[in-house]
Chain A
Amino acid sequence: MSRKHSFACAIGTLLATAGLAHAQDVIKLGAAVQLTGSEANTGRYYRDAYRLTIDKINAAGGVNVGGKTYHLGLTLLDNQSDVNLGVRQYVQLITSDKVNFLLGPFASNHALNDSSIAEKYQVPMVQGGGASTQIYSRGYKYVFGTLPPADDYYASTLDMLAKADPKPRTVALVAADDSFDVSVAKGTRNHVKDAGMTLAVDQTYREGNADFSTILAEIKSKNVDAILWSGHETEALNFLRQMKGLNVNPTNYYGFTVGVPTEDFRKALGKDADFAFGMTSWLADASLKDRWFGDAIAFAKDYADKYQYAPDYHAASAVADVETFAMAFEQAGSLDPKAVRDAIAKVEFDSVYAHIKYGPNGQIVLPQIVIQIQDGKVVPVYTDRVLNKAYYPIPPWNRRP
């Protein structure tokens, strides 16, 4: 046994030294993402997009930092959808796994907590999972984000509705009570006023709630023209199903902040998903050029081929996070956290996700694209101009094909 054992040991040492020699040329990125637990369904976008992008950059020869070529590496931990565990894992990533830079988790509450670790250790974090304005209002210097501010999620939608015929006059706003959706609701109230509409119903519900029948009864009794809804995917699903069950028909429009762009949502609802409006900060479009992927359509194809499901804006924004680092390394010409941080603040480039440029608070500014499900397909209808014809007003439930 001992001879066999020592042989294995020798091989092991050999491999380890080979790995070590190689490891010097690797810049390690680290993240703790929801791979299990209640948010795993969205967490996978980040895992898969991080991996795909890093592979792509390495396949293209890696990044050139001050005349030396480096490959990118990734240390990915599972935070089990647990905020406290996530915070601890980010400390682990920095101090014991010795990662050089941080990528983010999914969702605003995670990003809020995890980013304070980045700031504490002064290690730059670029995250594409949290949109709450709270993340960027703390004066942190090391945190950057690629999701647009929550306050403006409904800006383009209300812009579209203000020009629509017939224009809605009364609006119902329904929002969950977590950090992100409260931000959305706050911004939306102002946008509604600016668009010259009145808020007939303004309700906040408890996160995780599954029954909307009371809110829907109220909406129905007020006979509103439009419903603006903000919350989480399963709640959106329940809201829409109960709208049909209680036969609630706003005169012109109903829309959701989440759900509509994802395949799961449409699959779960079938034909009932038709006509629903939504929004996304990203759609696979050939006009989005990218140094590593070519364009967004090529990226979507690579992604779907590799992982057997289509990417959405979460995935695209995760790609931009990794690419931000790649660009910043090259511009900084150094791996010093401070130098890289300054380079990220100045970086400006085109990616599969969008044109990337961070504002002074660290957050990107990006208009939401209004989308609608038409005959089972997601169709972009509006940004600052009409993209495709919308089915508008939305027909009542009993008069649908």
Chain B
Amino acid sequence: MQRSVLVLVIMSVIMLAFLPWIASDVMLQFAINTLLLATLAQSWNILGGFAGYVSFGNSVFYGLGTYGTAIAMAQFGLPFWVGLMLGALLAVICALIVGLPILRLRGPYFAIATLGLSGVMGAIVSNMDIAGANIGLILPLTRADPMFYELSLGLLVVTTVCVAWLSMSRFGMALIAIREDEDAAGTMGVNTTRYKVAALVLASLFTSIAGGIHAYWITFVDPASAFDPTLNVRMVIMAVFGGSGTVFGPVIGSFLLSTIYELLAFWISTAAALLFGVVIVLAVLFMPKGIADLALAKEPGWRYFLRNVREHRL
């Protein structure tokens, strides 16, 4: 069973790697976007899914990644990979500085403090001249979508491999212990703070690289799109929709939701937002543990849905 899953995953990655040779430009663009979103959802999953710390501040790392890349390329004329590294460095430093005080907070406090963080960071950047203040920065134009695609795919694979390793390692066990009962984990000798900060740093690293790739691909960054809080909400929704705290849930969740959203946006254009909202409401109602849990359920579909409602209603 385990092995067959592994083979299946490797096969699909190899097949996906050849997509640029057959896909249309629109398809490729959609794919890049989806892969980047999946990376974001997967990174969110490290802290949010395994340790149960719901972060609304991951868009800060995303924004720092985009700005690191943009500042390096647009202001100093440095190559792309230097920009990626600068962005990642900024994000990791930010995660370390911010992580220590904020990860002391639990539950909703933590969620809200991270939300505040993304507001602060956006406002700070929009007042910095080196970051183009509120006007934003323009990166050099590159006509190389296949490169962006392979980069995004590679990043998602690396992130997912990392999460898979995590789920089997001591590190992952510690995070799960924190999620289940942080006080008990602490008394059993788990250094909870160190693990939480490490998880946040790991998440910030992948998130910022995804941001850097997106910045160079779109060729324009401004504070509103770089620190967009709804992006963070999307990460959470995709991770939860797929199944947070699992290895493949966030990836499947983002693939599915991106496809649904894109189809809605292109086919019925104007009512897409409405249907997207309805999908979220229904998903929370009937499958709060995500697709991953639904796939493992033993009873037939409707009974699974009803059981969920019964479990969580008043």
A and B touch in the complex (CB under 8 A): yes
Chain A interfacial positions (CB closer than 8 Å to B): 35-37, 77-78, 80, 83-85, 87-88, 91-92, 94-96, 109, 112-113, 116, 119-120, 132, 134, 138, 177-179, 182, 206-207
- Complex CA–CA separation, A94 to B26 (angstroms): 9
CB-CB nearest 7 A-B residue pairs: A95-B25, A177-B134, A78-B269, A96-B26, A179-B135, A92-B26, A91-B29
Q: Which residues of A contact B143 (CB under 8 A)?
A: 120
Q: Which residues of B contact A178 (CB under 8 A)?
A: 134-135
B26 near A134 with CB under 8 A, answer: no
Judged by a CB distance under 8 angstroms, whether B273 is at the interface is yes
Q: Which residues of A contact B29 (CB under 8 A)?
A: 88, 91-92
Minimum Cβ distance to chain A for residue B204 (Å) = 22
Q: Which residues of A contact B218 (CB under 8 A)?
A: 84, 87, 113
B269 near A119 with CB under 8 A, answer: no
A179 near B26 with CB under 8 A, answer: no
Judged by a CB distance under 8 angstroms, whether B308 is at the interface is no
B270 near A35 with CB under 8 A, answer: yes
A84 near B225 with CB under 8 A, answer: yes
Q: Which residues of A contact B220 (CB under 8 A)?
A: 112-113, 116
Question: Which residues of chain B from 168 to 227 have a CB within 8 Å of any chain A CB?
Answer: 218-220, 222, 224-225
A119 near B141 with CB under 8 A, answer: yes
Judged by a CB distance under 8 angstroms, whether B133 is at the interface is yes
Q: Which residue of chain B has its CB nearest to the CB of A176?
A: B134
A206 near B135 with CB under 8 A, answer: no
Q: Besides the contacts A37-B273, A92-B29, what 4 more A-B pairs have beta carbons closer than 8 Å?
A: A77-B266, A91-B29, A109-B222, A178-B134
A179 near B134 with CB under 8 A, answer: yes
What are 8 A-B contacts with C-beta separation under 8 Å?
Answer: A83-B224, A88-B29, A91-B25, A92-B29, A92-B266, A120-B141, A177-B126, A179-B135
Question: Which residues of chain B from 113 to 148 have a CB within 8 Å of any chain A CB?
Answer: 123, 126, 133-136, 138, 141, 143
Main DSSP-derived SS at the B contact region: helix
Q: A83-B225, A178-B134 are in contact. Are A116 and B219 (CB under 8 A)?
A: yes
Minimum Cβ distance to chain A for residue B62 (Å) = 13
Minimum Cβ distance to chain A for residue B270 (Å) = 5
Q: Which residues of A contact B269 (CB under 8 A)?
A: 35, 77-78
Q: Which residues of B contact A179 (CB under 8 A)?
A: 134-136, 222
- Complex CA–CA separation, A125 to B45 (angstroms): 41
Q: Which residues of B contact A206 (CB under 8 A)?
A: 123, 126
A80 near B272 with CB under 8 A, answer: yes
Q: Which residues of A contact B123 (CB under 8 A)?
A: 206
Minimum Cβ distance to chain A for residue B202 (Å) = 26
Q: Which residues of A contact B272 (CB under 8 A)?
A: 80
Judged by a CB distance under 8 angstroms, whether B265 is at the interface is yes
Q: Which residue of chain B has its CB nearest to the CB of A116?
A: B219
Minimum Cβ distance to chain B for residue A309 (Å) = 19
- Complex CA–CA separation, A35 to B269 (angstroms): 9
Judged by a CB distance under 8 angstroms, whether B30 is at the interface is yes
